[in-house]
Amino acid sequence: MAVKKLKPQGIKILKMFHIFFAFSWIIGGVALCLLVFTVHPESGDELYMRSRILQIIDDYFIICGAFGSLITGLIYSIWTNWGFFKHRWIIVKWVMIILQMAFGTWVLGPCINNNVIIANQLRDAALTDPVFLDNIQTTQIWGTVQTVLLLVLIFISVQKPWKK
């Protein structure tokens, strides 16, 4: 049985939501990178607050944007003519999105969440805590890589390379 496809107006609405969620994910990544590189707390309270703001950016912009992009991407693949495997560029996007979401869930997310706990418990001592500092370095390096890869996804979405 063939799946009923969205009408043109439905596709336009879907595109608006997909762009909104992708924008949220990318802006969250950029904001996280800017904050982690440019704000240098000097007290435990400031350190906790920066850690908490990073967590809020992750929870509300990055995670919501990522899942919204995933869901709207699934809708695109099922209820429009794009499909999952019709074009190589779509396959590349799916692989990149799934890998980025997995990496964010199991590597970056725990670093950010653990730093909130460490900063709350240790306050000033967190400034020299090796686990805290390692989590910040991981967030700086891999958060930047993730954000650059999101920008690559925009390029792929617009240019649609590797067509059949």
The per-residue pLDDT for range 91-119, each reduced to its tens digit, is 999 999 999 999 999 999 999 999 999 99
SS3 call for 131: helix
4 torsion bin: left (phi>0), alpha (psi -120 to 50), beta (else): beta
Domain that holds residue 149: 8-159
pLDDT in the model for residue 3: 77
SS3 call for 121: helix
CA gap 73, 97 in Å, rounded = 10
Please tell me what DSSP assigns to residue 158.
H
Q: Is the CB of residue 44 less than 8 Å from the CB of residue 155?
A: no
Cβ neighbours around 2 below 10 Å, total: 4
Q: How confident is the model at residue 85 (pLDDT cuts 50, 70, 90)?
A: confident
Q: Establish if 152 belongs to a structural domain.
A: yes
pLDDT in the model for residue 83: 85
Q: What percent of the chain has pLDDT over 90?
A: 89
Q: Establish if 46 belongs to a structural domain.
A: yes
Q: Establish if 61 belongs to a structural domain.
A: yes
pLDDT in the model for residue 164: 61
Q: How many domains does the chain have?
A: 1
pLDDT in the model for residue 41: 95
pLDDT in the model for residue 156: 94
pLDDT in the model for residue 67: 97
CA gap 96, 58 in Å, rounded = 19
Cβ neighbours around 126 below 10 Å, total: 22
pLDDT in the model for residue 2: 73
pLDDT in the model for residue 20: 98
Q: How confident is the model at residue 1 (pLDDT cuts 50, 70, 90)?
A: low
Rounded to two decimals, the pTM is 0.92
Q: What percent of the chain has pLDDT over 70?
A: 99
CA gap 87, 109 in Å, rounded = 31
Q: Establish if 2 belongs to a structural domain.
A: no
Q: Establish if 1 belongs to a structural domain.
A: no
Q: Establish if 3 belongs to a structural domain.
A: no
pLDDT in the model for residue 4: 86
